[in-house]
Amino acid sequence: MNLDEAAIERARFGDPRALRALFDAHHELVMSVCLLSVRGERDVAKDLAQEVFLRAFQGLAGLSEAGRLRPWLLAITRNVCRDHASRRSRELEQLEAFALEQALDLDAAEVEDPNGRVQAVRRLLAEIADPRVKEIVGLKYGEPEHTTRQIAERLGIPHGTVTVKLMRFRAAAKRTLVRMLLESEVRA
């Protein structure tokens, strides 16, 4: 029986020294994966690592083979990091939607109304200098909406070009909207 096997057996019964030994043996690995997941944000990575060990220690009874501890911990770590990324993505989408509403000074009825959305897109398009991007964005978000493949076919350009131009437009719009939201908060 190796260290992990013995520690796991004792940890299953709540032995604090055994739990600490497992934590010490695997913390660096878990923390490294968490740091990579959150692009070096140390405080966030620490929180995620803590969540990993909490889940792992609560689930030790379900670990059938002590020799599988490391892959099992890595699976938990991936799940915790993926859940965090999903939550963060949803939060950013909500922030961006709020920023868009604020930047375009839309009320709730306009946002729910497709015509209001089209008007919002038209306001954003007025800020774009590149005529090709205006055309692509107008087709994608105008009325009626077109798929990226339909846009590529209609304009006679590669599908990848449409996708890249839309991605760049969205990124630029997000940056602009978030900046505008932050500026409006500073003024308030």
Q: Give the pLDDT confidence score for residue 6 in this predicted structure.
A: 76
Confidence of residue 106 (pLDDT cuts 50, 70, 90): very low
Percent of all residues in the chain with a pLDDT value above 70, rounded to a whole number: 73
Each residue of 160-185: pLDDT tens digit?
Answer: 888 888 888 877 777 766 666 666 55
Q: Give the pLDDT confidence score for residue 179 in this predicted structure.
A: 65
**Cα(26)–Cα(32) distance, rounded to whole angstroms?**
10
Confidence of residue 96 (pLDDT cuts 50, 70, 90): low
pLDDT, averaged across the chain:
79
- Taking Cα atoms as reference points, which of 121, 144, 143 lies closest to residue 133? 121
Q: Give the pLDDT confidence score for residue 79 in this predicted structure.
A: 94
Q: Give the pLDDT confidence score for residue 140 in this predicted structure.
A: 82
Q: Give the pLDDT confidence score for residue 92 in this predicted structure.
A: 72
Q: Give the pLDDT confidence score for residue 1 in this predicted structure.
A: 42
Confidence of residue 107 (pLDDT cuts 50, 70, 90): very low
Within 10 A of 120 (CB to CB), how many other CB atoms are there? Answer: 19
Confidence of residue 60 (pLDDT cuts 50, 70, 90): confident
- Taking Cα atoms as reference points, which of 96, 130, 171 lies closest to residue 163? 171
Overall CATH class of domain 3-89: mainly alpha
User: Which pair of tokens denotes residue 116?
Assistant: 């209001």
Q: pTM for this one?
A: 0.51
Overall CATH class of domain 105-187: mainly alpha
Q: Where are the domains of the chain?
A: 3-89, 105-187
